[in-house]
Structure 1
Amino acid sequence: MVNEPVQRKLAAILAADVVGFSSLMERDEEGTYARVGRLRREIVEPRLSEQQGRLIKTTGDGFLAEFASPIAALRCAIAIQGDLGNDPGPLPLRIGLNLGDVIVEDSGDIYGEGVNVAARLEALCDPGGILISGKIHSEVDGKFEAVFEDRGEQQVKNISRPVRIYAVQPAGWPATSAATASSGTTKKPLPLPDKPSIAVLPFQNMSGDPEQEYFADGMVEDIITALSRFKSLFVIARNSSFTYKGKVVDIKRVGRELGVRYVLEGSVRRSGGRVRITGQLIEAATDRHLWADKFDGALEDVFDLQDQVTSSVVGLIAPKLEQAEIDRARQKPTESLDSYDVYLRGQGRVCGSPCVFHQSIRTGS
């Protein structure tokens, strides 16, 4: 028996889901179910019909659709988000778009990397936003009135090659729309605490092996826990730090959004039975690297290795944080000349005679 050839085609894929669906269902199961149904019937399906899109399937909190044209797919995404933005009680959506070759089943369902990338972009998207792949961007750029924010190449889950990602800012959307908010330009910076503050970002898994995610995440959790034991440090909780997982981050933006002076980031790379962990401590406001190092070890005892690296990292960066705070205090100008005068008087007594600079202040010269 000769196997029938697999049916394939090129399609623009739109993946979307409702933000915070699980918590919404927990609070109001029947009400949320009804609102999602209305969202599909009154907004999604009419907008798909306008752009000749085909609804492939729904997943309770989301849906998957295909289009023959990337421009039609983008128009549909923008129309849906525009409708939700004008709704007084919207269910916020994330939308991802990709152009790719897909396998088509007899049932009409579709599979393949083209679908997977769209789903990954949707997962990375901010509420109310639209992320598109580089393939979609190359087809719509110059043909569509919108601003496309280049997010760079990102390694997305279970996709071997990095994906170029763009956030969409349609013409006519207000400055506080999702794409601008995604770039961090409209978020109000959090005030800095009155003591050294640090965020430990998720370490990047450089091995290409999804199974190593647990090791990288466990390492970060241990470092956060260890740093939290220092009463002189303000340490951002894991849940806040891990919102940046899988994203290309701007350290200055992280500092503003989390209200921290310092950021620790790193990576984990495995080769055979050995692993290399790198880390770097950065001053968020200036993007200045304060410390960087690497640690090598065997994976025979994972927990022992995690403990060793955690102790080493914490022991090395704690003095760096202290020195950075001392340097920062020295550079900060005094807000009171009276206080500074008292300081100079004290310096003069320590020296045994008034300092020259102190004398110049007293005489006004």
Structure 2
Amino acid sequence: MSIGKALPSQPLDISLAGSARATARFVWQVATAFIAILLIPVVGCVNLAINQIAVPLGEAMDRKLAAILAADVVGYSTLMEEDEQGTFERLRAARKELFEPEVARHHGRIFKLMGDGLLAEFASVVDAVECAVALQRGLAERNASFPEDERINVRIGVNLGEVIVEGDDFYGEGVNIAARLEQMAEPGGVYVSGKVAKEVEKKLSFGFEPMGEHLMKNMDEPVPVYRIKLLGVPKIRGRRRRGKSYIPWAAAAAVALLATIGGAWLYVNLFNAPASTNVPSIAVLAFDNMSDDPNLGYFSDGVSEDIIAGLARAPDLSVIARNSSFAYKGKPTDVRQIGKELNVSYVLEGSVRKHADQVRIVAQLINAKTGAHVWAERFDQSGNNPMALQDAITERIVGAIASDTGQLKRSRYGEAWSKDAASLEEYDYYLRGHDKFMQYTPQAMEEAYRIWSEGMAKFPDSALLKLKMGFLHYARAINGWSQDTEADLRLVGELAKQAMSRDNLSPLERKMGHWLLAYANLVERHSKDALREAEAAIALAPNDAFMVGMLAEVVAAAGDIDKAVSWADFGIRNDPANPMLAFMKGFVLTASGRYQESDESVKALGDWFAGIPLVRSINAVNLGKIEEAKSQTKKALELDPSWTAEKWRQLTFFDADVLDRQVSDLIKAGLPEK
């Protein structure tokens, strides 16, 4: 449920009976309601602008223990289909009269809105649980006055855990578990984690029913789940009879016209407008259940919903909410018509076939303007845990589409290159340069430099282009392609700080800013600060496989090799065609002394830049293969004669003991000392 200003909650006086005074009052109420409808998007835009203000430069990312409440409306899309305007008004009234006051009364704060859901944080877990129960009881009382098909039902999950604090927002495991608990709960129910139940069971009078242990995404251990026994919730009365309306036909026509215009305007401009014209927009249709068992529709719906949630975390992508895209479920559709109706650039559709412990998902990405297929892939997965299967496949699909090297970005390259230079916008310069940058050769880097320099001349205040230029200076330096290594490394930090000092950064700019600041701190040998910035970047885009994999070197420099390997593996698993991720895994494995594993990771990559044979040279020395080590060093010097052992020390950011060992190995393998 998104929180905003509610429409007036009192029903319109429709007992006009021909009275002039009553008619005037009715017209005034209609006008007031319509003005309120028109003001809703204004309030929403103000809230959106406030939410997009970036964390000021230098504000440290913090962690704290918090109780998180996640709530979501059940069957929202169906309610909207049946009575869009009525549902909208009832939901707004419920938020204003119940949700906001109850959260505030229990000393909580709503910190995130997600379409038809919300997240709130509480300093006290007792307050969080009491608030959840009060919300369900309050809704039950409100629903008693509505027919069954008009009732607003909500699922709620509550978790107690550590969260990452960034500005007014929270991320991390504590939030993710609360959201999972909410998804498990039945309509009108409250599910809590074992930590919550243990903390409050002797402080509150509610009963807790154990629901078993459940594996959750990115969790090594299952989470104990409990359902709160909501005693005393009023029974919901039956469907009420609707009386006849005595509105004069002219007034009725006016109401219908206003509601139609207002509802249509809201639907197109508030619910379905992409967040930015600069970023691609996508609708994920409900995946078809192709299994023999029609009851497995829940699984295909779950996959689709998880993909929507995963793509929604991509900062350079605008994703249409589930209630809009699922409206086409089971209907013959034309992708171009869907694109027009939902105002999106791309549509993702697919099918799910599940048999025993085997799952096959076919997904295809389609250009909604032309109907052309952009990408299609088949994903096979096996296992006995349906949730784990769902998570694994969702992770791979989201990584393939929304990563920094994903299909959507590749599709956008062609659009940027097709434009005349005179009409290029800031985002076009970003895309053109990124296309060259990702080719990762000295020549392509210089072409990217030229493109971004032109863009910065046209858009001198562009945080986006400054950040990309910062990445280019870093890549130039660490790969030995720089004409002035010291200047390039200095510019990494300068450009990052300039960009992050800007107000109103976009989600994409914030992600890139934290990522570049991680590298800037790495260059300055501030490994803990670098790791903090890396975690902040990943919290903003946890499914960006390329970014997560490339930041493995930051974790390794901070001394956590196992975590570094895990990040590299995540990147490889979800972006398997990218050779840089396999190299990064080998790079951090070599630092940890796992030389055989490292060599297996990089040996199939070929010799397209000097770093690969240099890593293999270190591995060979430690595996007792001195001649092989010398051969690899020779290859490196053929690719780039400027490499020396001292240069390796300057451009590798591990601790002193690791660097001393690696420099000694390279000298043994024949690399010049200076």
- TM value normalised by structure 1: 0.49
- TM value normalised by structure 2: 0.28
Select the structure that is richer in helix.
2
Select the structure that is richer in strand.
1
- The structure with higher relative contact order (CA 8 Å, sep 6+) is 1
Structure showing greater radius of gyration is 2
